[in-house]
Amino acid sequence: MSTLKETLYKELKLKIATSVEGISFDPHIFKHIDLGGRYQEQIHCLFEGAYETHVGIKFPTGFNSPHGLIFNVRWDRRSPYSFIYDKGTYYLAHYKEVLFPVEFHERPKYYGLKTSDGTSMSGIANYVQEGKVLVAYSNECALKDKDQDCKFCNINATKDTYGEAEGLGWKYPKQVGESIAAAYREGARKVTITGGFVAERREVEYYLDVADAIKEQTGLDDFNGTATIGAPHDLSIIEKYKEAGYRTVATNIEVWDRNIFKAICPGKELQCGGWDHWVKALEYEVEVFGKGRVRSNIVAGLEPKDSTLEGIEYLASKGVVAVATSWNPNPGSALEGHRSPEPAWHFDLYKKIAAIHRKYGFTDEQIYDCTAGPTSVYQYFNQIEEETLPIFKANVA
């Protein structure tokens, strides 16, 4: 088992490295596979994750490591990691030395379906693996009009770049309900609703309408939904999301240091009551939804590591599933051209976050329900240590 653990930790380091440094490839390399047919194509849901825009050129969403860890495809020509295509097989390489063959994720069947108004479901409900679906109801943020965008965010630039080509626009409740029902019939079991900044009253009304539509179309009162919302001025509004049927709620603080928060997230500072109110909202959400049913994200790399860990520790102590995602300075954001900390910095951060989650007793089920993506790096740390990954059972068998 010790050898298997060592191998898994190597793959985990590689997952973090390719997330931070990206993967280099000729953008036309995927012409050899049935992308958008057999294999799942990237849909620009909220953000451009690559370091360059690529209008009209499809990329796959991701692939698994040899032992089952999920990798995303993040394009960066500068990366020491690359895709190589040779004799019908794709490989992940490091400085052109092959690491392992790659099989990209297959496309869910509901991506080929349309809603009753003729809209492609692939543009409504983004499949993110392991039974999780993400709906970005709006691919733009109203903070742009006030010049108060979060400095790391490229949501508006993504809409400007891909809106016409990919039909990025408002998702209506009935479209969402029908798409989630189709995804659930195919085996999905968790949905996150998110989007850009909108007026508080409009936000709550939309989320309630979406919950009603999902329940109507799926027949489920508890559809395992996460409502990703801003910190409301009237905290009692949070109770409405619970009453509507959402199992969990997410309010992403993004930065823990209150002074850096003001500089990086001016809209959240000026429009949502500031850092103090954001923290109060998270604590109130735990009162309403319960421990392990509230999530908040910090963008890792925008502030000192100790500050991020202080925030994770504090929020976890209050019952919040506090997480971090590696900052990638992507095109169109105010911080485009900056650099994220090196992969080893992120590896150490995630390892310490995993220890905090263990300390406060958060379960895999709670983290699964609260978060939008597939198995997180900090979950992998704990699953490797506790030998709960499927590969351990396969190895014993």
User: Would you list the DSSP string of 153-193?
Assistant: --HHHHHHHHHHHHT--PPPHHHHHHHHHHHHHTT--EEEE
Tokens standing for residue 139: 């691919």
pLDDT tens across 216-230, in order? Answer: 999 999 999 999 999
Instruction: Tell if the pTM clears 0.75, that is, is over it.
Output: yes
Q: What is the pLDDT of residue 346?
A: 98
Q: Is the pLDDT of residue 397 over 60?
A: no
pLDDT, tens digit (0-9, with 9 covering 90-100), for 39-53: 999 999 889 999 999
User: pLDDT for 333-360, tens place per residue?
Assistant: 999 999 999 999 999 999 999 999 999 9
154 contact partners, CB below 8 Å, separation of at least 6 = 47, 48, 330, 331, 332, 333, 336
The arrangement of secondary structure in 109-393, i.e. its CATH architecture, is Alpha-Beta Barrel (3.20)
| pLDDT, average across residues 287-305 | 98
d(CA 211, CA 180): 11
List the domain boundaries for the chain.
Answer: 2-102, 109-393
Residue 1 predicted with pLDDT over 60: no
Tell me the CB-side half-sphere exposure of residue 313, using CA atoms within 13 A.
9
Name the helix (H) or strand (E) containing 197.
none
Per-residue pLDDT tens digits for 107-143: 999 999 999 999 999 999 999 999 999 999 988 888 8
* pLDDT of res. 292: 98
- In degrees rounded to 5, what are phi and psi of residue 273? 85, 0
| Average pLDDT value for the chain | 95
Residue 89 has pLDDT above 90, yes or no: yes
